[in-house]
């Protein structure tokens, strides 16, 4: 786990943070926080937007924001930014929050924020393959230096495994048809290696929806990204251990973007007696925010307080 100290900046990022006012409210507002938070973990640092706002909301000079992100591109950008002694960003997954706290001889934080969506910076990177509208290598890893790219993942799994993953993680009804076409290409010694190759398969296999709102490749790319990065496994392990990282009265604030993530968060908060659920139903972005930032439209925010 490596780290860089920096002041969050938007100079080199095009990402717009989702539900920023709500995040600040549930972390730092006196109506929720009986005592001002001293230590806050931003587990998905990304463009640094949430961290920047939290630093403004927490006026105490002794406070600290700890950022975590798996993406080396984030670490590289942070290294070039102006330093702020109240912020440290680690190149690591949010499930390593305990190790980050240990760097400061801390065992708990007063709040932890997770924004589980892709950043606009990742979508804009042609070498990562996150956007099905831009051709490039079919990678889909948050950390290109670890794990296997999606193209190799497909080559390593059989038709049933591919279909099951696309159905389970993408809720794609035509997963069997897509998996069959992928494996057929492999048998022809033409394995899928680029974004456009997979998009074309999805176009052929997924009938055009009536409302035309959903691109035929959307669910398949989501599923492969989740599988390649073990996103749901990391989320489940984090929620299992997070009560040990949050001080009594501290808040866990999580923004999810699809039903699988939201279900995991909802169940973890509800079923663990160490949490007091503060949002009985998920909060949604305002109409004005969706108009300003369309990528926020599917966001759901849930909050729990450590008993």
Residue 213 is predicted with a pLDDT of 75
pLDDT in tens, 163-177: 999 999 999 999 999
> What DSSP string runs through 18-55?
SSHHHHHHHHH-TTT-SS--SEEEESS-TTSHHHHHHH
3-state DSSP assignment of residue 98: helix
Mean local confidence (pLDDT), 86-91: 95
Confidence of residue 212 (pLDDT cuts 50, 70, 90): low
Structure-derived torsion over alpha carbons of residues 280, 282, 288, 293, reported in degrees to the nearest 10: 160
Q: What is the pTM of this model?
A: 0.91
Mean local confidence (pLDDT), 205-225: 87
Chain-centroid distance, C-alpha 63: 25
CB atoms within 10 A of CB 152: 15
Q: Are 283 and 4 in contact (CB under 8 A)?
A: no
Residue 83 is predicted with a pLDDT of 65
Contacts for 141 with CB less than 8 Å, ≥ 6 apart: 128, 147, 148, 149, 150, 228, 229
| Among 100, 76, 77, 101, CA closest to 90 | 100
**Assigned superfamily of 124-230:** Putative methyltransferase TM0872, insert domain (1.10.150.170)
Confidence of residue 131 (pLDDT cuts 50, 70, 90): confident
Q: Which of 212-216, 245-249, 265-269 has the lowest average pLDDT?
A: 212-216
The values of phi and psi at residue 162, to 5°, are -65, -45
| Structure-model confidence comparison of residues 84 and 89, the more confident one | 89
pLDDT at 229 over 80: yes
Confidence of residue 8 (pLDDT cuts 50, 70, 90): very low
| Structure-model confidence comparison of residues 234 and 33, the more confident one | 234
Token pair for 305 = 């307080």
Query: In whole numbers, what is the pLDDT of the chain averaged over residues?
Result: 91
Please give the CATH topology (third level) of the domain spanning 2-121+232-306.
Rossmann fold (3.40.50)
Alpha-carbon distance values, 182 to 217, 229, 281 (Å): 13, 20, 39
Annotated binding site: 48-50, 69, 94, 115, 122
| Structure-model confidence comparison of residues 32 and 108, the more confident one | 108
pLDDT at 209 over 80: no
Q: Are 7 and 49 in contact (CB under 8 A)?
A: no
CB atoms within 10 A of CB 93: 22
Annotated binding site for S-adenosyl-L-methionine: 48-50, 69, 94, 115, 122
Residue 11 is predicted with a pLDDT of 44
Residue 124 is predicted with a pLDDT of 65
| Structure-model confidence comparison of residues 126 and 289, the more confident one | 289
Mean local confidence (pLDDT), 184-210: 94
Confidence of residue 296 (pLDDT cuts 50, 70, 90): very high
3-state DSSP assignment of residue 224: helix
Residue 5 is predicted with a pLDDT of 45
pLDDT at 256 over 90: yes
Residue 123 is predicted with a pLDDT of 65
| Ranges of each domain in the chain | 2-121+232-306, 124-230
């Amino acid at each position: 786990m490596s780290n860089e100290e920096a002041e969050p900046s938007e100079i080199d990022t095009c990402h717009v943070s989702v539900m920023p006012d709500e995040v600040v409210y549930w972390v730092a507002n006196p109506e929720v926080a009986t005592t001002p938070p001293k230590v806050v973990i931003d587990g998905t640092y990304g463009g640094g937007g949430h961290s920047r706002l939290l630093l403004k909301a927490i006026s105490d000079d002794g406070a600290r924001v700890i950022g975590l992100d798996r993406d080396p591109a984030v670490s590289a950008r942070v290294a070039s930014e102006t330093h702020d002694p109240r912020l440290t960003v680690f190149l690591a997954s949010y499930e390593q929050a305990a190790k980050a706290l240990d760097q400061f001889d801390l065992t708990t934080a007063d709040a932890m924020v997770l924004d589980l969506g892709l950043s606009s910076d990742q979508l804009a990177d042609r070498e990562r393959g996150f956007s099905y509208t831009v051709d490039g290598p079919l990678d889909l890893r948050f950390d290109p230096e670890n794990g296997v790219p999606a193209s190799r993942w497909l080559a390593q799994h059989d038709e049933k495994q591919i279909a099951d993953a696309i159905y389970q993680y993408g809720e794609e009804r035509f997963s069997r048809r897509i998996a069959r076409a992928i494996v057929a290409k492999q048998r022809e010694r033409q394995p899928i290696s680029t974004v456009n190759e997979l998009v074309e398969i999805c176009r052929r296999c997924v009938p055009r929806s009536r409302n035309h709102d959903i691109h035929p490749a959307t669910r398949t790319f989501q599923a492969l990204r989740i599988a390649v990065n073990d996103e749901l496994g990391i989320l489940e392990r984090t929620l299992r251990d997070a009560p040990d990282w949050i001080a009594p009265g501290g808040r866990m604030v999580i923004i999810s973007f699809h039903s699988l993530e939201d279900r995991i968060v909802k169940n973890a908060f509800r079923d663990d007696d160490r949490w007091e659920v503060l949002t009985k139903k998920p909060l949604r972005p305002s109409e004005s925010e969706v108009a300003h930032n369309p990528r926020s439209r599917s966001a759901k925010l849930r909050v729990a307080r450590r008993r």
